[in-house]
Amino acid sequence: MRRYETICIIKPSVGEDEITAIIDKTTGIIEQFDGSILNLDRWGMKKLAYPIKKEMQGFYVFAEYAGKPEAVAEVERIFKIDDRVLKFMTIKSQEVYVAGPLKAQKLAEAAKAKKQAEEEDDD
């Protein structure tokens, strides 16, 4: 498995329930391919730098996860089909090969430790 980060921009007219449904569907796909979510943030409504499909604002969602390339391909395929998603981008953040859920759990623990260390540095 590798580590990925995905940001998607959802139409502003979509309700909170539909945003949650999109997020649940995405996490379900990642977990279906034996992946695990490391970090999931709702950045909220932001102004876009330029109009996308005649929209000037969008709801941003950030997901960091460990998964297989097949999971990324499926998530991106679903985003392309879904009219509620304005834009999305996925990057590979680390080339880490892990085997099984135990390694994914170790990745999640390492991410938490890194986040705690950053918070302590800020204090």
Domains and CATH numbers, the chain: 2-122 (3.30.70.60)
Q: For the segment 92-119, what is each residue's pLDDT rounded down to a tens digit?
A: 987 765 555 555 666 667 777 777 777 7
β-pairing, 2-10 with 36-52? unpaired
Dihedral sign for Cα atoms in the order 37, 38, 40, 46: negative
Q: What is the pTM of this model?
A: 0.74
Listed in sequence order, the residues at least 6 apart from 99 whose beta carbon sits closer than 8 Å to its beta carbon are 1
**CA neighbours within 13 Å on the CB side: how many for 80?**
7
121 vs 67, which has greater pLDDT? 67
